[in-house]
Amino acid sequence: MQIFLNYFSNGIHFLLFYLCTLFLLPIIFVIFDYTQVTSKPIVFGQELFNIQVEGNHFVSEGTGFGALLAFTVGLVIYFLFLSVFRSKNQQA
């Protein structure tokens, strides 16, 4: 049960990182005077997020697919780290 909670916790951390990045990136663009920015990356035919900066106004939208992908990446990275550390402990 502890391992499942660790997986879930790491997935949630990556999801929060995704959300913080979405909220802070447009503000950073405005601070550094990038006034015409539009970003809508698409993976597997689905948008990950939508960031638009026009003048001093900005819009930042996250998508469900982007959140799911961030959570899944967190799970995979935790699994890879766990596998590497287990193999190192078994070799020692």
Q: What is the DSSP string of 79-92?
A: HHHHHHHHHHHHH-
Strand ranges (E), the chain = 36-39, 42-43, 46-47, 49-54, 57-62
Q: Give the pLDDT score at 14.
A: 93
Rg (Cα) of the chain, in Å, rounded?
17
pTM of the model: 0.80
Give residue 55's identity as a one-letter amino acid code: G
3-class secondary-structure state, position 27: helix
CA dist 7 and 13 (Å) reads 10
From first to last of its 92 residues, what are the pLDDT tens digits of the chain? 787 888 889 899 999 999 999 999 999 998 998 889 999 999 999 999 999 999 888 999 999 999 999 999 999 998 888 888 777 777 75
